[in-house]
Amino acid sequence: MLKTLTNNWTATLAESPQGWWAPGWRWFFQNFGVNENAKLTDQLYMEIFWISVGWFVFLMAIMLICVVKYRRRPGVPAPYSPSHNTVLELVWTIIPCFFLFYIFLQGFHVYVDKLVAPGDSLQMTLTAKKWDWTITYPNGAASPERTLIGADSTQFGGENGSPGSRPIPIFYMPGDVPIHFNMISQDVMHSFWVPDFRVKFDVFPNRYTTYWFQAKLQGAETNTLRDSTGKDVVTAQGEKVPYIDHFIFCAEYCGDQHSEMLGIIRVVPMAYYLAKTEEWNIEGKTPAEIGKLVYQSQGCSACHTLDGSKGAAPTWKDLYMSQQPTNAGSVVADDNYIRESIYTPQAKIVDGYPSNMPVYTTAQIDERRLQGLFAFMRSISKYAPAEAAPTTAAPATPETEKK
Amino acid sequence: MTTLDNSRAHDFGGHGHHEGSYLTPKGGFFTTVWDWATTVDHKKIGVMYLVAVLFMFFLGGLAALAVRTELLDPVRTVMVQAVDAQGKPLLDADGKPVMKTEIVGQTLARWIPPKGGEITSIDYGNQLYNRAFTLHGAIMVFMVIIPSIPASLGNFFIPLMLGAKDVAFPRLNLLSWYIYVTGSIFAVSSILLGGVDTGWTFYTPYSTTTDAEHANVVLMVLGAFILGFSSILTGLNFVVTVHKLRAPGMGWFDMPLFIWAMYSTSIIQVLATPVIGITLLLLVFERMFKIGIFDPSLGGDPVLYQHFFWFYSHPVVYVMILPAFGVISEIIPVHSHKKIFGYRAVAFASLGVALVSFLVWGHHMFASSGELGATVFSALTFLVAIPTAVKVFNWIATLYKGSIALTTPMLYALMFLFLFSIGGLTGLPLGALATDLHLHDSYFVVAHFHYVMMGGTIITFVAGLHHWWPKMFGKMYNQFWANVGAWTVFVGFNLTFFTQFFLGTQGMPRRYASYVSEYQTLHIWSTVGSYVLLLGFLIHLFVFIHSLVAGRKAPANPWGGLTLEWEAESPPIEHNFAHEPIVTHGPYDYETTVPPHWSAKDYPLPHLPANAH
């Protein structure tokens, strides 16, 4: 399944680049016109490219002509020629300065557009940790949806996909409106990069950085949403949902699963975005449902499995109220122990696992969500006291949920 | 300084023409080994550096091939044959083997059992990859590229080109070699003990919190710290040598441009290396004693580390490339028998680059710094482009009306102009803020710095080695096969790294053990290119071995060079020159001077116009 250089693998070519710089654009980029800043970046890149090609061909041509024309002939000395010419040397010092100044100015101009978000942007919070992203929507909800990289239910699926071993999060974002992230890391440095938006910015553990984008949906070439069984997703009004996926890559080396720290920005119509975030809102849900949403949206699922298989951290199946061997002796995994493991994870490490658990704050997982986690873990543990089991054996699964 | 003057007055001359080559063994095997191990002869130390650097280049190259091979395939999971508890293959009803998916780490764990035996998760495959690229980066930067030209060719040829008997501080020179070996042993033992996964940049807080074995990270960082001292001492030695040991008649502007480049390099080494020394030591303290300089959970600032690190590591980029400029400035005039165009411009461009190099470190942090800092650093970065471009123009102008021989060193010099121009021009979209926010930490950066570091420095190192090989070892090599090697390296290099520009613009991040499969085609081309590159270097290795064993004896001045090293014998005698050379012509006066050891019949001088100076 080899892909050609020009394979349009994200299939979001909304429009074609226009201008003297446009030829050859296809060699370097996969899509155009995701937003205004991406267009300007491509234009600047291609301008620099053609300026460079001009200089390069000019210099190499002179070099090759000299090598051929002035090749050594036995017994023939190199003819005299001046080895210094002030005017020539000044000219070739000054002319590149104009090119460099132009490139600097253009770079600065688009950079400012990339950094300064419009005042009416939707405000969201992005947290990064080894090795997962979480985005908190304005209503406090977070996306619990995940997919395997290359799964058929994403735009990158089917022929184009390679199966991943670990699910990556999908973040629904409304199209055609500016969105602004406040970004913070829970452990080491990460870097939030959406190649389609042509912007990345580092995420630090000790100060906030920001990121903004606006993704085009109207007038773009789109697919329509399907669930994991391949059936069309329809809204309450019976309409199909157009969407475009953009990959998120972590671009600052952060350890073992750096290359698995992916995500998908899924651009959908505003109405669908509002419906999804409302669905994930914890208001009106049972504690176990809240717990499951937290498990899916806060990245717990990256390391803790639910089916008893061994991940990078202990499985949650039959964990609640079980005996766990730790470096501080055997403990019972009760509410207090679980609470401690979330807020001060280094306190006790279960034998056989690295101390990889990131620190959560009470702002990220508040008391209500924490109680939800207890309820959720209780529902999947055989050690849980019978009377504490919820009346509905398993929490209700949201309609669009995937595995 | 009197001792230096005395040594010049007494040691030249007297026992001149009876003295043997510096390579002549001093007696039996052990006597000879002891003689080399305790030598203060800059030529022997240069050769010892050469051997050490080439060995490390081999290790770093192996790591690179491991990295490239891993990237042949994007998959995170592989299909394997299922086995039962006894290890026998499971067969289905039709007698066909049953296949199952497993994580790459599990497959690798069967071949290379992990320490502790527990981890067979996805982490394990990634851990091996992360260690391989860290080793490749750390070895190639700290143990190969930085010492390559200065410590081996510089050590050997700076005194010869200055007409001196040795460097200013010969014992210090030997000490630097032992420090280099000690630092390398630290780094290699860190590899043998399991390796580190921090990346060669050791960014905090990852490097202070990684679960790679504590001792390994400390060992590797200390290794780099120790290597810094070798660098500082060598730089100091060269600065003093250039100031004090020039032959009579050699003014500053009569020096070969290689000396100018090495002088600029040495200044950067002396000024910038202490900063990395302090930074790495702080990192070790942070890792061992949890002080809280860089670790945010203790109140430190991780970006501070980046500032410290790049304040050294950016100037060091010029420590790597300036010596290459120097070598090219020698090879092009010698092999085209033409005076270098704009001598002073080339000399001052070296100093200009050295100066500006201290002011551009922030361009490694456009994606992490504030707007004002990024803008200032972007502007300063474009400033570096000017002296660099001037040099390229001067080299190409030197070819005009020359007498160009396509010898192996000249072929490599022309390839350098090709590769370095690509490397330099692809720096433009990285210096421009808007495009850098996209390209930073992508394969575009990987391709760019390989074009500059490898296409610039390593290619030039090999060029210089071919240029001076007859002088160093007194043997010629097979030009035809050396040229075949050069073309193979050229093709392999471009195949490996040109593809990576496209990977970068399309969004492939650096340091990824696995990737989305859309990038696979380009990765395959790149990996094939790396194998071609290996083939090219192997050809060179055989050409050199053949030369040492069966090469014909080299004349004292095979290419017709005018700088002083060509006046010496090939290989030079122990004290370099039988008589102290007196400089009577400029280093590149090809229009007025018959090269030493050449006759006027072999080298007819051109007719000079009346207004020529």
Listed in sequence order, the DSSP H helices in A20-85 are 25-28, 36-69
B79 or A202: which carries more pLDDT confidence? A202
Tell me what the pLDDT averaged over chain B comes to: 88
pLDDT of residue B499: 96
pLDDT band, very low/low/confident/very high, at A386 (cuts 50, 70, 90) = low
Asked if B432 and B362 touch (Cβ cutoff 8 Å), the reply is: no
Contacts of B127 in chain A (CB under 8 A): 256
Asked if A352 and B118 touch (Cβ cutoff 8 Å), the reply is: yes
Please tell me the total number of residues recorded for chain B in this structure. 613
Integer-rounded Cα Rg, in Å, for chain B is 26
Cβ-Cβ pairs closer than 8 A, A with B, add up to 324
pLDDT of residue B113: 63
pLDDT band, very low/low/confident/very high, at B115 (cuts 50, 70, 90) = low
Distance CA B410, CA A292 (A): 68
| Nearest residue in B to A260, CA atom | B514
Distance CA B427, CA B383 (A): 12
- Whether pLDDT at B75 is above 70: no
Give the residue-averaged pLDDT of A222-242.
83
Give the residue-averaged pLDDT of B16-43.
85
Distance CA B345, CA B351 (A): 10
pLDDT band, very low/low/confident/very high, at B5 (cuts 50, 70, 90) = very low
Query: pLDDT exceeding 90 applies to what percent of chain B?
Result: 60
| Nearest residue in A to B298, CA atom | A206
Closest C-alpha among B150, B145, B312, B153 to residue B234: B150
Q: Is B311 exposed, middle or buried (0-12, 13-18, 19+ CB in 10 A)?
A: middle
| Nearest residue in A to B410, CA atom | A67
Computed from CA positions of residues B23, B24, B26, B31, in that sequence, does the dihedral angle turn out positive or negative?
positive
Task: Give me the residue from B301, B432, B437 closest to A206, CB to CB.
Answer: B301
Indicate the DSSP class of residue B61: H
Contact A258 B512 (CB under 8 A): yes
Task: Give me the residue from A3, A191, A312 closest to B521, CB to CB.
Answer: A3
Rounded to a whole number of angstroms, the distance from the CA of B132 to the nearest CA of chain A is 12
Task: Give me the residue from A2, A45, A258 closest to B511, CB to CB.
Answer: A258
Q: Would you call the peptide bond into A118 cis, given omega within 30 degrees of 0 as the criterion? A: no
| Per-residue pLDDT tens digits for A181-191 | 999 998 889 99
pLDDT of residue B14: 43
Closest C-alpha among B480, B471, B488, B478 to residue B567: B471
Contacts of A201 in chain B (CB under 8 A): 367-368, 437
Contact B434 A108 (CB under 8 A): yes
Helix-then-strand count for chain A, H and E: 7, 13
Plot region of B195 (φ>0 → left; ψ -120 to 50 → alpha; else → beta): left
Give the residue-averaged pLDDT of B129-133.
89
Give all domains of chain B, ordered by start, each with its CATH number: 2-72+121-566 (1.20.210.10), 77-111 (no CATH)
Task: Give me the residue from A7, A189, A255 closest to B518, CB to CB.
Answer: A7
The amino acid at residue A352 is: G
pLDDT of residue B212: 59
Computed from CA positions of residues A58, A59, A65, A69, in that sequence, does the dihedral angle turn out positive or negative?
positive
Task: Give me the residue from A37, A103, A110 closest to B428, CB to CB.
Answer: A103
Rounded to a whole number of angstroms, the distance from the CA of A197 to the nearest CA of chain B is 8
| Nearest residue in B to A355, CA atom | B211
Query: pLDDT exceeding 70 applies to what percent of chain B?
Result: 89
Distance CA A272, CA B210 (A): 41
Contacts of B302 in chain A (CB under 8 A): 188-189, 204-206
Find where tokens 């990460």 sit. A190
Mean pLDDT is highest, among A17-26, B177-186, B349-358, for B177-186
Distance CA B174, CA B234 (A): 10
Give the residue-averaged pLDDT of B583-593.
90
Mean pLDDT is highest, among A336-345, B203-212, B462-471, for B462-471
Give the residue-averaged pLDDT of A233-254.
89
Cβ contacts of residue B292 below 8 Å, gap of 6+? B286, B298, B299, B300
What's B333-374 look like in SS3? HHHHCCCCCCHHHHHHHHHHHHHHHHHCHHHHCCCCCCHHHH
Contacts of B520 in chain A (CB under 8 A): 1-3
Contacts of B434 in chain A (CB under 8 A): 37, 40-41, 44, 106-111, 113-114, 198
pLDDT of residue B10: 41
Distance CA A128, CA B210 (A): 17
Contacts of B609 in chain A (CB under 8 A): 80
Contacts of B402 in chain A (CB under 8 A): 66, 70, 78
Mutate to test the interface with B, among A114, A256, A351 (most CBs of B within 10 A): A256
Quick check: helix, strand or coil at residue B21? strand
Mutate to test the interface with A, among B339, B372, B433, B559 (most CBs of A within 10 A): B433
Give the residue-averaged pLDDT of A166-194.
92
Distance CA A331, CA A328 (A): 8
Distance CA B316, CA B358 (A): 9
Asked if B421 and A61 touch (Cβ cutoff 8 Å), the reply is: no
Give the residue-averaged pLDDT of A321-339.
89
Cβ contacts of residue B5 below 8 Å, gap of 6+? none
Contact B367 A202 (CB under 8 A): yes
- Whether pLDDT at A46 is above 90: yes
pLDDT of residue B473: 95
Give the residue-averaged pLDDT of B365-390.
90
Indicate the DSSP class of residue B547: H
Q: Which of A5-14, B122-131, B366-375, B444-453 has the lowest mean pLDDT?
A: A5-14
Task: Give me the residue from A70, A253, A310 closest to B399, CB to CB.
Answer: A70
Distance CA B77, CA B68 (A): 18
pLDDT of residue A389: 47
Task: Give me the residue from A79, A106, A255 closest to B210, CB to CB.
Answer: A255
Distance CA B451, CA B457 (A): 9
Contacts of A7 in chain B (CB under 8 A): 518
pLDDT of residue A37: 92
Q: What are phi and psi of B351, to 5 degrees?
A: -65, -40
pLDDT of residue A2: 35
Beta strands at A262-268 and A167-174: parallel, antiparallel or unpaired: parallel
Beta strands at A167-174 and A179-185: parallel, antiparallel or unpaired: unpaired
Half-sphere exposure in the Cβ direction for B378 (13 Å, CA): 30
Task: Give me the residue from A100, A164, A249 closest to B382, CB to CB.
Answer: A100
Residue B599 tokens read as: 């006759």
Rounded to a whole number of angstroms, the distance from the CA of B236 to the nearest CA of chain A is 32
Contact A103 B371 (CB under 8 A): no
Rounded to a whole number of angstroms, the distance from the CA of A117 to the nearest CA of chain B is 14
Query: What DSSP string runs through B496-541?
Result: HHHHHHHHHHTTPBSS-SS--GGGHHHHHHHHHHHHHHHHHHHHHH
- Whether pLDDT at B138 is above 70: yes
Closest C-alpha among B164, B4, B243, B7 to residue B581: B164
pLDDT band, very low/low/confident/very high, at B518 (cuts 50, 70, 90) = confident
Asked if B578 and B19 touch (Cβ cutoff 8 Å), the reply is: yes
- Whether pLDDT at B118 is above 60: no
Integer-rounded Cα Rg, in Å, for chain A is 27
Distance CA A137, CA A125 (A): 7
Plot region of A79 (φ>0 → left; ψ -120 to 50 → alpha; else → beta): beta
| Per-residue pLDDT tens digits for B480-512 | 999 999 999 999 999 999 999 999 999 999 999
- Whether pLDDT at A394 is above 80: no
Contact B513 A259 (CB under 8 A): yes
Rounded to a whole number of angstroms, the distance from the CA of B194 to the nearest CA of chain A is 15
Contacts of A255 in chain B (CB under 8 A): 130, 197, 206, 210
Rounded to a whole number of angstroms, the distance from the CA of A29 to the nearest CA of chain B is 5
- Whether pLDDT at B432 is above 60: yes
Rounded to a whole number of angstroms, the distance from the CA of B444 to the nearest CA of chain A is 11
Asked if B563 and B468 touch (Cβ cutoff 8 Å), the reply is: no
- Whether pLDDT at A161 is above 50: no
pLDDT of residue B4: 37
Contact A189 B205 (CB under 8 A): yes
Contact A150 B385 (CB under 8 A): no
Give the residue-averaged pLDDT of B18-46.
89
pLDDT band, very low/low/confident/very high, at B122 (cuts 50, 70, 90) = low
- Whether pLDDT at A241 is above 60: yes
- Whether pLDDT at B168 is above 70: yes
Give the residue-averaged pLDDT of B169-192.
93
pLDDT of residue A310: 75
B382 or A397: which carries more pLDDT confidence? B382
- Whether pLDDT at A1 is above 70: no
pLDDT of residue B550: 94
Distance CA B365, CA B146 (A): 23
C-alpha to C-alpha distances, B313 to B268, B357, B361, nearest whole angstrom:
11, 10, 8
- Whether pLDDT at A12 is above 70: no
Distance CA A355, CA B450 (A): 36
Give all domains of chain A, ordered by start, each with its CATH number: 25-72+81-115 (1.10.287), 122-279 (2.60.40.420), 287-388 (1.10.760.10)
Half-sphere exposure in the Cβ direction for B344 (13 Å, CA): 6
Distance CA A41, CA B505 (A): 11
Rounded to a whole number of angstroms, the distance from the CA of B574 to the nearest CA of chain A is 34
Query: What DSSP string runs through A364-386?
Result: TS-HHHHHHHHHHHHHT-TTS-G
Contact A249 B509 (CB under 8 A): yes
Give the residue-averaged pLDDT of A127-150.
86
Query: pLDDT exceeding 70 applies to what percent of chain A?
Result: 88
Closest C-alpha among A285, A278, A284 to residue A395: A285
Contact B517 A209 (CB under 8 A): no
Distance CA B69, CA B256 (A): 43
Find where tokens 């006291």 sit. A385
Helix-then-strand count for chain B, H and E: 21, 2
Give the residue-averaged pLDDT of A246-261.
90
Task: Give Dmax (Cα) for chain A.
Answer: 105
Give the residue-averaged pLDDT of A372-395.
73
Contact A67 B399 (CB under 8 A): yes
Residue B604 tokens read as: 């007819």
Cβ contacts of residue B252 below 8 Å, gap of 6+? none
